[in-house]
Structure 1
């Protein structure tokens, strides 16, 4: 990487180099196991001018999202998070039956179904053919497209300007930050609102959440760098909320620059926290690589010692973040026999790179393993409850992030 994709500055500084891994959502079918599997460098750097953390765009969104393995509706807590957001946004923005809401990267309609339930007109823009089809099957109007300025203008011309544009967990997924932001501006009414949720680089660094670094996440935002990115497309940050989702996210509220007004006190408060953490100077990033290496050593030590004791360890979940962890640690089926997932799309497939089988969740109760390694650690509270049945045979849960934690569960 020679230039920052946001400000164009040369030679961003290294933060952590995770080696080379396959794209995290490229789950393998059984007939692909004897075929070559491409891997790409996974090296996080930060621009020392605008402080946008980023990886090189070595794969395209088209490669990742035309056929996508992630369906939001399989996470109970995420569906509830969306329902709460819709209820709060309707109240905050006084959205009535004449309003129009657009969600970008709307996935399987998990959020917009709550908008429809309130009698509000809406449209999803979802690039993945398979999950967009699932949304339409559920009655959510969905356009299969990537957002850019032309798409935003075309949607506005056909449907009118949006009172609210939602872009949850997508602002990190597009290499053309400026073009995507211009697309958001094209969609939103001149006095409308844009709401963006994205993982917060502050918690990623503080909590060792390096497994959320993967090829479909092209950049990693602080509030400071996000404000600069929004401004590149004619939007102004006016408010921010700190959220627990994905281990720590920020919800950015922005408006067209001409309607924005002064930002809230919360914006200044979070900017001050980021500055205090050193995220606007290299000192805030220098220890991260060493802490990542410790996570790897601790997890491998646990798995090797369990294997030597003759104890069984299986996984729970097959999220994208899990594949960064598995590949960086070099974990194979000799240390993790299999993992399970609620998403039937993944059953019978294998994790990219590490080729660990993915089975239905019922396999855990059938096999009664000694330990269950929880890969979607960000859903800890939800999964401790879901997996409480492992106590019946003395099984325990293992969480690898932010540090190795072994949990005995009870009903």
Structure 2
């Protein structure tokens, strides 16, 4: 294996999660007795350029043609996208006739917010998801972005003043080719906006469930700067975001016109440097802390089962499937999970094969504990699940520590937005089972 940015062979293992199935390969009932392929999930670090990466074992074409993830099922993510569009229009002084292109545009969750007069185009490889975008009136090209596609888009539509690549820069095994494609799309005086999960939070908080085969690499700002430079793009600004358990928003421009970076770039680099992430040794604690989190969650669920508490799940995200498989959580510990996405209803999670039900099933069944698998949406989901308190149920968030939340303590603001969850004492070590149920 060679580093996909710098080509170095000096790669060290930093976290081995065993072998798991692809995280979005939800099983139909007819496939339950069929064999299921698994692939190693072994995170490595390049000693030379410090890019965290997985071996490219599964091609994107195997995952993203018929895809189970629809961005619009997260209300907070749609609002996040609206705010990004509004801010970018003001930041870049976009006007009628300018073009915004989003790569991996999913179901139109972001481009639907583009003001009238500004042209928009989505590039989305998943046929089913792209069709959902077109039904919303969002022009969408079904394609994987590469240099040929980028050249064709530029020839037909002209250069884009803004190219958005939210949560896709980690999904591309050919980082260099993809980066060159972004440069080809963007105008010489335009900018590229990229959002990625920040490796600072992955390492600092042992967010091991963000590791799955769709993600080929995990970026610090330092490694992102190095990757973008391969396509003649220079980072001019950066932001720390709360999304997905802690993300980076990176603004980059063609090198010839980029100009100096804002002070925020150096500030974030300093945070990473202080955390030890600009040296290979800074990644050594990830594996032991991940193992401790696994033991905590299993101990909690085993004690809940021993005392007769019924546990169900909420959500069936890709990250949840890494957590379930690495921890070995099967239907004896988690009877089922529910999800808002109808595509997943009646299917089973890959590997551990936990059934997925509509959200209404949770209300009918009334379990004692609800394990929230998309824990990064804690505020939004605590508001949505506040009614669990009506039958005495509690919410359990597995990361960054196993934490039990009484949903009665969570109230929505009058405008319907989420109010921050009242802090509670993390369960570490796990409390006695009698106290967990109180």
> What residue number does 2:97 align with?
98
> What residue number does 1:377 align with?
375
Q: What is the Cα deviation at residue 182 of structure 1?
A: 0.5
Whole-angstrom distance in 1 between the partners of 2:38 and 2:88: 41
Whole-angstrom distance in 2 between the partners of 1:11 and 1:325: 28
Deviation readout 1:318-371 (Å, 9 max, x if unpaired):
000000000000111011000000000000000000100000001111011000
Asked whether 1:180 is paired with 2:194, we answer no
SS state of the match for residue 63, structure 2? helix
The correspondence for 1:396, drawn from 372, 394, 397, is 394
Deviation readout 1:163-204 (Å, 9 max, x if unpaired):
000000000000000000000001001111100000000011
SS state of the match for residue 385, structure 1? helix
> What residue number does 1:71 align with?
70
Deviates more, 1:201-210 or 1:38-47: 201-210
Q: What is the Cα deviation at residue 72 of structure 1?
A: 0.3
> What residue number does 1:305 align with?
303
Deviation readout 1:252-281 (Å, 9 max, x if unpaired):
000001110011100001111111111121
- What stretches of structure 2 of length at least 5 have no aligned partner? 412-438
Q: What is the Cα deviation at residue 409 of structure 1?
A: 1.4
Deviation readout 1:78-116 (Å, 9 max, x if unpaired):
00000011011111111111210000000000000001x
Mapping 1:317-332, distance limit 5 Å: 317-332=315-330
The correspondence for 1:294, drawn from 292, 295, 312, is 292
SS state of the match for residue 391, structure 1? helix
> What residue number does 1:218 align with?
216
Asked whether 1:228 is paired with 2:226, we answer yes
> What residue number does 1:84 align with?
83
Whole-angstrom distance in 2 between the partners of 1:50 and 1:73: 35
> What residue number does 1:168 align with?
166
Whole-angstrom distance in 2 between the partners of 1:223 and 1:277: 13
> What residue number does 2:421 align with?
none
2:315–2:339 CA contact under 8 A, matched in 1: yes
SS state of the match for residue 136, structure 1? helix
Q: What is the Cα deviation at residue 400 of structure 1?
A: 0.5
TM normalised by structure 1 equals 0.99
Q: What is the Cα deviation at residue 119 of structure 1?
A: 2.9
Mapping 1:201-350, distance limit 5 Å: 201-350=199-348
> What residue number does 1:136 align with?
134
Q: What is the Cα deviation at residue 13 of structure 1?
A: 1.0
> What residue number does 1:25 align with?
24
SS state of the match for residue 153, structure 2? helix
> What residue number does 2:36 align with?
37
Whole-angstrom distance in 1 between the partners of 2:12 and 2:392: 47
2:50–2:280 CA contact under 8 A, matched in 1: no
Report the number of matched residues: 409
Whole-angstrom distance in 1 between the partners of 2:306 and 2:344: 30
Please tell me the root mean square deviation across aligned C-alpha atoms, in Å: 0.7
Q: What is the Cα deviation at residue 378 of structure 1?
A: 0.5
SS state of the match for residue 79, structure 2? helix
Q: What is the Cα deviation at residue 23 of structure 1?
A: 0.4
> What residue number does 2:6 align with?
7
Whole-angstrom distance in 2 between the partners of 1:358 and 1:323: 12
Mapping 1:193-208, distance limit 5 Å: 193-208=191-206
Whole-angstrom distance in 2 between the partners of 1:303 and 1:119: 54
Runs (4+) of structure 1 exceeding 2 A deviation are: none
Deviates more, 1:279-288 or 1:126-135: 279-288
Whole-angstrom distance in 1 between the partners of 2:198 and 2:360: 34
TM normalised by structure 2 equals 0.93
2:99–2:118 CA contact under 8 A, matched in 1: yes
Whole-angstrom distance in 2 between the partners of 1:81 and 1:119: 22
> What residue number does 1:407 align with?
405
> What residue number does 2:53 align with?
54
Whole-angstrom distance in 1 between the partners of 2:253 and 2:220: 18
